[in-house]
Structure 1
Amino acid sequence: MTDKPLRAPSLTVEDRRSMLVDAVTPLLTEFGAAVTTKQIAERACIAEGTIFRAFGTKEELIQAAVARQLDPEPFREKLRAVDVGLPLEARVRSIVVLMRERFTTVFTLMTSLGLLGKPHTHDPRREFTEILSRALEPDLERLHFTAERSAQIIRMVSLAASMPMIHLGTGFDDDEITTLILYGIAGHPAGVPEPPSH
């Protein structure tokens, strides 16, 4: 007598909804709201009817995907997790990587859905600035600006570099942006003494 194959454990409603959001997000950046439930089902490897049992309509699924991307808390957690024991250069690069990933995903999704420019229901800038300020704190003596101002610069440059309609031409990679933030395009500012080496 042969053993019957074990059935995969069924997903909870929340797990199924989360799985569908994972599946639809890359499709939205590619097809926008024109994505079909058939495409979603194929990407998620499920029957098409499962989508409607989990969300009711395709539009509800799209709204859930957008809400997840706009939720700032998972992004804040990643920023809080940046290791303050890393050298300043590595620390700033880690922040740049996270910033670009966040901005690129959000702007690509919002552009595909034709939602770019709609007002957000939250203002995350202050909390992000506080998180970045804490990440920079071990090296304040090396900075030419306050921690708050430096955090604003990192966010601003990372944002601009993530938007093709702003940077135009060839894009910037994470190392170039990190170097630009830390050293500008001409090294140390003329007439300003360099911070003492430690």
Structure 2
Amino acid sequence: MEELETRTRRASPLPVEERRREIARATVPLIVAHGSDVTTRQIAQASGVAEGTLFRVFDDKDAIIDAAVEEFLDPEPFREALRRIDASLPLELKIRIVLDRFEDRFTGIFGVFASLGGRPRPPAQANVEVVVGIFEDLLRPELDRLRVPPATVFGFVRLVAFASTMPHFGGTTGLDTAQLAALVVHGIEKGNPAC
């Protein structure tokens, strides 16, 4: 009886937009693993729904992949991860955590797009001012120690994280996040010689 209940159990009903989001989120790791060769059966299994459910909320597999990429590129979860960093932490530790967050983000983006080959990227929602505002809040306790404004610190961190995660470059530097954080901090603090 229990086995029969398990086999016939269906995904709990959700509003269409929420179901689309759940399916899109479950599809991202499959895209990294299989690229556009991912099957709708794999997507349904990862999403915990029947294959038919996929096509009640999406037109076709390409629409699912597009939604997954769009969901993955949504900057808000990344911004929220930055907002959760404790501003009272030591400067070098904060920069290290920020670098980790950026490196995770860039590595994921490179992985998704490498898996999809030449598939066009959805329009970006680049609102740099939001992240600069997060940096201003995060660095407020150290503003008197910095020789550059938080917007410039953001630029340094983004550039270092991007370069360190480039698939053909990042692995050859031999620098870990702690070393990169020290490099950034010693470049932005007053009293350190200019690099």
TM category (shorter chain) comes to 0.7 to 0.9
Normalising by structure 1, what TM-score?
A: 0.78
- Structure 2 equivalent of residue 169 of structure 1: 172
1:28 offset after TM fit, Å?
Answer: 0.4
What residue is the counterpart of 2:132 in the other structure? 129
Separation in structure 2 between the aligned mates of residue 129 and residue 72 of structure 1, nearest angstrom: 13
Contact 2:70 2:122 in 1 (8 A): no
**Which residue does 2:153 correspond to in 1?**
150
Q: CA deviation at 1:116?
A: 7.7
Q: 1:107, 1:116 within 8 Å by CA — same for their partners in 2?
A: no
CA displacement, residues 149-198 of structure 1 (integer Å, 9 cap, x when unaligned): 122101111111121223352564432322232236xxx74489xxxxxx
Contact conserved, 1:164 with 1:171, CA < 8 A, in 2? no
Q: Which amino acid aligns with 2:92?
A: E
**Among candidates 115, 129, 138, match of residue 112 of structure 1:** 115
For 1:55-74, list aligned pairs within 5 A. 55-74=58-77
Deviations for 1:1-43, whole angstroms, at most 9, x for unmatched residues?
A: xxxx796771303343222122210010121111111222233
Q: Distance in 2 between matches of 1:156 and 1:50?
A: 42
User: Would the aligned equivalents of 1:129 and 1:148 in 2 still touch at CA under 8 Å?
Assistant: yes
1:80 is aligned with what amino acid? R
2:106 touches 2:162 (CA, 8 Å); kept in 1? yes
Q: What 5-or-longer segments of structure 1 have no aligned partner?
A: 193-198
Deviation larger for 31-40 or 42-51:
42-51
Q: Would you say how many aligned residue pairs link Structure 1 and Structure 2?
A: 187
Calculate percent identity across the aligned residue pairs. 37
Q: Which amino acid aligns with 1:34?
A: D
Q: Distance between the aligned counterparts of 2:173 and 2:19, measured in 1? A: 40
Residues in 2 aligned to 1:53 and 1:37: alpha-carbon distance in whole angstroms: 13
Which SS does the other structure have where 2:117 is aligned? coil
Within 5 Å, give how 1:8-19 maps onto structure 2. Answer: 10-12=12-14, 13-19=16-22
- Tell me what 2:184 maps to: 181
**Cα distance in 2 for residues equivalent to 1:181 and 1:156:** 10
Q: Call closer, same or farther: CA 1:73–1:191 in 2, change over 3 Å.
A: closer
CA distance in 2, matches of 1:95, 1:153: 11
In structure 2, C-alpha distance between the alignment counterparts of 1:51 and 1:78, rounded to whole Å: 30
The TM-score normalised by the length of structure 2 is 0.79
* Paired residues of 1:21 and 1:64 also in contact (CA < 8 A): yes
SS of the equivalent of 2:168 reads: helix
CA distance in 2, matches of 1:106, 1:164: 11
Are positions 1:35 and 2:10 aligned together? no
Any conservation in 2 of the 1:41–1:51 contact (CA below 8 Å)?
yes
Two-structure CA RMSD over aligned residues (Å): 3.0
Of 130-139 and 167-176, the range deviating more from structure 2: 167-176
